[in-house]
A = this chain, B = another copy of it.
Amino acid sequence: MTDFSPKNHFQPINLFEYEQLAKKHLSQMAVDYYSSGAWDEVTLRDNRAAFERVKLRPRMLVDVSDRNLTTSILGQPLQLPLLIAPMAFQCLAHPQGEVATAQAAALAGVGMILSTMATKSIEEVASVAHQSNAVQWFQLYIHKDRGLTRTLVERAYAAGYKALCLTVDAPVLGQRERDKRNEFALPPGLHLANIATISKLDISHEQGESGLFTYFAQQLNPAVTWRDLEWLQSICPLPLVLKGILRGDDALHAVEYGAKAIVVSNHGGRQLDSAIASLDALAEIVAAVDSRIEVLMDGGIRRGTDILKALAIGAKAVLIGRPVLWGLAVGGQVGVSHIISLLQDELNVAMSLSGCTQLQDIDFSLVKSVNI
């Protein structure tokens, strides 16, 4: 376990260093599963490159002695415009898995979205929030088995999750070739904590294929359409968030079909390779939505300046994915807390240096796209 006292010179000081260090704490199968993107990983790389193509135009001589980084999403308060993206199998990184993540999120006052594919159960994770009034959402994959799906949704609602985040970019799983090579499966002792109690389903070993790919092909429902959102809304009063939108017209559909927020996302480059970088899709979607619902984004956020750029282009908040896993692997809840506080510090400094004292000050004029 990494020593997090300030004396420790080996403690990472940014998210990239966490990534390097985490790889020493993880099995190769876990590293591959966590870090990889689909096919040639073009979108994975482009998610980052898109941030580098955007330059900042800071304002000077603003009184920045106080900065306020708080915001609200769906009416729920956040200390930072940040949520932890839903990510499967967090116990691969640390025995406390999603619980540790939830604790870190609650401590920092950022949101957390629990994956359907979690290795800690809906209820166990929710119990973290009960003490802290933290913002937790439940991420839903709609299974072919409607009963199972309904049960998941009802449990999430009962457990106190504040929104239902439907992932729409995964009617089938993206082909991540390292997982296929590794014949990815959950190691002994880890289970689909939410599903296992309802059915016998699991991510089992399969010859020449990722067990997760096969699970999706067999269990998830590729037939879900906009109309199914009515069904979802009918079985659960929680606000609906659509994760995985990359086009303005789809964002408009989201508004029409009653979603309360969308997450502009390509699933961290893990689904359709060569899909547009999330940041490159953001402006079009912000324009289409025209403030009727809230727009979040994820994919490639690694620095406070990345958050600033996403907000300048119109996101209300951002999600971070992999860095949380690196934090978890390096130090469990403490590692995730540190990841969040690094981003918070960086955003704080970035806002000070840009003349922004509150998130509303972060306007579109702060960014400029350049060809590099």
Contact = CB atoms under 8 A, between A and B. Distances in A.
Given A247-B58, A247-B59, A350-B272, A13 B177 contact: yes
B244 A207 contact: no
A352 B217 CA distance: 11
A222 B175 CA distance: 46
B247 A6 contact: no
Contacts of A169: 58, 60, 353
A64 interface: yes
Given A13-B180, A58-B272, A60-B242, 19 more contacts: A6-B207, A9-B181, A9-B208, A13-B177, A39-B305, A42-B52, A46-B372, A55-B277, A56-B275, A57-B247, A57-B275, A59-B247, A59-B250, A60-B168, A61-B253, A64-B222, A169-B353, A175-B345, A272-B350
A61 B57 CA distance: 37
Given A272-B350, A370-B280, A225 B63 contact: yes
Interface string A177-220: 10011000000000000000000000000011000000000000
A280 B356 CA distance: 22
B352 A55 contact: no
Contacts of A59: 247, 249-250
Nearest to A144: B65
Contacts of A154: none
A158 interface: no
Contacts of A271: 353
Quickly give the copy total for this chain.
Answer: 4
Given A223-B65, A225-B63, A346-B39, A56 B272 contact: yes
Given A14-B177, A168-B60, A303-B39, A55 B272 contact: no
26 contacts: A6-B207, A9-B181, A11-B208, A13-B177, A13-B180, A14-B177, A46-B372, A54-B274, A55-B277, A56-B275, A56-B276, A60-B168, A60-B244, A60-B246, A61-B168, A61-B228, A61-B242, A61-B250, A63-B222, A171-B353, A174-B353, A247-B365, A271-B353, A274-B305, A274-B309, A371-B371
Given A59-B247, A59-B250, A61-B250, A7 B39 contact: no
* Size band of the interface chain A makes with B: 35 or more
A98 interface: no
Interface of A: 6-7, 9, 11, 13-14, 39-40, 42, 46, 49, 51-52, 54-65, 168-172, 174-175, 177, 180-181, 207-208, 221-226, 228-229, 242, 244-247, 249-250, 253, 271-277, 280-281, 303, 305, 309, 345-346, 349-350, 352-354, 365, 368, 370-372
